[in-house]
Amino acid sequence: MRRSQLFVPGNMERMIQKSRLLGADSIILDLEDAVPAGQKEKARALVSKSVSEVEWGRRELCVRINSPSSRQGRADIARLGSLDRLDTFVIPKAEGDLSTIHRSTGKRLIPIIETAKGLSGIDLVTGSGGVDAVAYGAADFSLSVAGSVSEYLDNVYVKTKIVVAARSTGIDPIDNVFFDLKDMSGFEKSARQARALGFSGKQVVHPSQIRTANRVFSPSREELKWARKVLGAYNKSSRSGKGAIALEGALVDEVHRKLAKRMLDDSSTAD
């Protein structure tokens, strides 16, 4: 479950220590863009020590490495690839087939689609061995296509393409980070749009965004009430041979039964 996936700068010891106490479903210790060039080696050592020594609980623990084709990225993989507690490598600016990283380390992979080439060849990325979720990076993406971050933060074309690629191979799509830390209603709106498009969670960059993400990506009380009502009415009518009924003025048939069931299944995994 990744309703919220928190980025923590890999060179900030206090933030790393604190992150385990927060309610994020998944944590990403970042060695890429949150760490300045001169601190890469220091951060790699700190992240390596923290992965092994901090009590992370049962949540997913990830590290975002530097680009795997760079010297820093290769050093990240070599240093961290054999740490047992590390579940997943998050791969920035992912393009092409990533299977060799999974084969050489056994780690799961979460590629971030954040370049034009990554998006246009997304099936190659998501079809790589070991990939079990895919994320979106709106800032780098806007850089790659010479557009603006504000447009690409909520761009429906890009997001739909990522959701379709993910769901067609049975992996989770995770929505992008939202940079304005003071705009909580903007964050919630963005999360709601993402959930409606089919994302299963959202990456977050501040503790204040975690609770909202966890709430938005869990079924609400009203949704659960609706789901129970649909299942009850459908089961009753199908016993008497009717597959399509009107429930409070709206048509309900087999697909609505499936939607209602998915909602209840989602709520039992969120418990």
DSSP code of 91? E
Determine if 73 is a binding residue for ligand GLV (CB under 6 A): no
Here the tokens at position 124 are 């190659």
145 contact, one of Mg ion, ligand GLV, none, CB 5-8 Å limit per kind: none
Nearest to 56 by CA among 8, 102, 90, 122: 8
For residue 88, the one-letter residue type is T
135 contact, one of ligand GLV, Mg ion, none, CB 5-8 Å limit per kind: none
The total of other beta-carbon atoms located within 10 Å of residue 235's CB is 10
Determine if 140 is a binding residue for ligand GLV (CB under 6 A): yes
Which listed residue (139, 164, 247, 259) binds ligand GLV by CB under 6 A? Answer: 139
CB of 248 to ligand GLV, least distance (A): 42
The gap from C-alpha 236 to its chain's centroid, in whole angstroms, comes to 38
Task: Give me the phi and psi of 262, to 5 degrees please.
Answer: -60, -40
Q: Which is nearer to ligand GLV, 5 or 212 (CB)?
A: 5
Which listed residue (109, 138, 216, 230) binds ligand GLV by CB under 6 A? Answer: 138
Q: Which is nearer to ligand GLV, 60 or 114 (CB)?
A: 114
Whether 154 is catalytic is no
- Number of H helices and E strands in the chain, helices first, is 13, 10
Q: Give the alpha-carbon dihedral of 163, 167, 171, 172, to 10 degrees.
A: 40
Determine if 10 is a binding residue for ligand GLV (CB under 6 A): no
State the sign of the Cα–Cα–Cα–Cα dihedral 144, 145, 151, 152. Answer: negative
Here the tokens at position 250 are 């709206």
| x/- map, 81-120, ligand GLV, by CB under 6 A | -------------------------------x-x------
**Which parts of this chain interact with ligand GLV (CB under 6 A)?**
112, 114, 137-140, 176-177
**Which parts of this chain interact with Mg ion (CB under 5 A)?**
114, 137, 140
Residues assigned a catalytic role: 253
